[in-house]
């Protein structure tokens, strides 16, 4: 058990966290931020991707107790003042989601991609999203969403 202070979606959180609790479980079970999903137990599916200090990580691979001082953004923290992030808007526009289960992780990954690549090619998008499994969409409209968001975020 460790007392940890972190910032989650802009809010300060201080909690006693057992050593073995993953960030994904901490978000879901302790903070009730259930937008971060758990789709596997081998860090393969990517449904749990969040941003820690601005970088996308699979939150099932991090122990919450290790994250003292970190700034964490989850899918719930992406929209600002009730307005969806351009990536969220783009997923809606291009039908980049069906059942919605992989979507939060997919969006958090894609947002991170656009931080380093303002104008990614199809191949770069597909390579980047290789760690996020979607069973519904066949990925095509997800790729379209990322491109749409990239073009909106440039203008």
Partner 1 sequence: MASLVGSRVERKEDKRFLTGKGRYTSDINIVNQTYAIFIRSPHARAKIKKIDTSKASKAPGVVDILTGEHIAKDKIGGLIAGWAIRSEDGSEMKCPANPPLAKDNVNFVGDPIAVVFAETLDEAKAAAELVKVDYKILKAVTSLADTMKSETIHEGIDKNMCYDWLLGDRQKVKEAFDKADKIIKLDITNNRLIPNAMEPRACVVDYNTASEEITCYTTSQNPHLSRLIMSAFGGVTPENKLRVVAPDVGGGFGSKINLYNEEIVCSWAAKKIERPIKWVAERTESFLTDTHGRDHITHAELAVTNDGKFLGFKNETIANLGAYARVFGTVTPTYLFGPCATGVYVMPAAYTNVKAVYTNTAPVDAYRGAGRPEATYTIERIVDKAAIELGMDPIEIRMKNFPTEFPFKQTLVHQVDSGDYVGGLNKAKEMSDYDGFATRKKESESKGKLRGIGVTTYFEACGIAPSPVVMMLGCGVGLWESAEVRFNPTGQVTVYTGSHSHGQSHETTFAQIAADELGVPIENIDVVHGDTDKGTFGMGTYGSRSLAVGGIAIVNACKKIVTKGKKIAAKMLEASEEDVEFKDGEFVVSKSNKKKTIGEVAFASYLPGVRDEVKSPLPEGEEPGLVESSFFDPANFSFPAGSHICEVEIDPETGEVKLDKYTAVDDFGTIVNPLIVEGQVHGGLAQGIGQALYENAQYDQTGQLITASYMDYTMPRADNFPEFNIGYTCTKATTNPLGVKGCGEAGTIAATPTVMNAVINALGGREISLPATAEKVWKACKENKKSKAEAA
- Which residue spans within the chain are E strands per DSSP? 2-8, 11-17, 49-52, 55-58, 71-73
Residue 105 in tokens = 């992780």
Distance in Å, CB of 34 to partner 1, minimum? 4
Q: How far is the CB of 55 from partner 1 (least distance, A)?
A: 19
Pair type for strands 49-52 and 55-58: antiparallel
Nearer to partner 1, 6 or 28 (CB): 28
Question: Contact 48/24 with Cβ under 8 angstroms?
Answer: yes
Residue with smaller CB distance to partner 1, 7 or 101 = 101
Give the C-alpha separation, 11 to 121, whole Å: 35
- Between 6 and 108, name the residue whose CB sits nearer to partner 1: 108
CB 60, min distance to partner 1, A = 11
Q: Which residue has the tokens 């923290």?
A: 77
Give least dist CB 68 to partner 1, A: 23
Nearer to partner 1, 14 or 32 (CB): 32
Helix, strand, or coil (residue 73): strand
Rg (CA), the chain: 15
Residues that bind partner 1 (CB under 8 A): 28, 32-42, 44-45, 47, 74-76, 78-79, 84, 88, 91-93, 95, 97-104, 107, 122-123, 125-127, 129-130, 132-143
Name the minimum Å distance from CB 125 to partner 1.
7
């Amino acid at each position: 058990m460790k007392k940890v202070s972190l910032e989650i979606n802009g809010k300060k959180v201080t909690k006693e966290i057992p050593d073995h609790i993953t960030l994904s479980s901490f978000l879901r079970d302790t903070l009730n931020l259930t937008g971060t999903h758990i789709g596997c137990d081998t860090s393969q599916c990517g449904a749990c991707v969040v941003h820690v200090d601005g970088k996308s990580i699979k939150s099932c691979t991090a122990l919450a107790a290790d994250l003292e001082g970190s700034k964490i953004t989850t899918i719930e923290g992406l929209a600002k003042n009730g307005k969806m992030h351009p990536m969220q808007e783009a997923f809606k526009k291009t039908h980049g989601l069906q059942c919605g289960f992989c979507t939060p992780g997919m969006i958090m990954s894609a947002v991170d991609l656009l931080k380093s690549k303002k104008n990614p090619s199809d191949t770069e998008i597909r390579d980047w999203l290789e760690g996020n499994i979607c069973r519904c969409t066949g990925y095509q409209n997800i790729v379209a969403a990322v491109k749409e968001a990239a073009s909106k975020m440039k203008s």
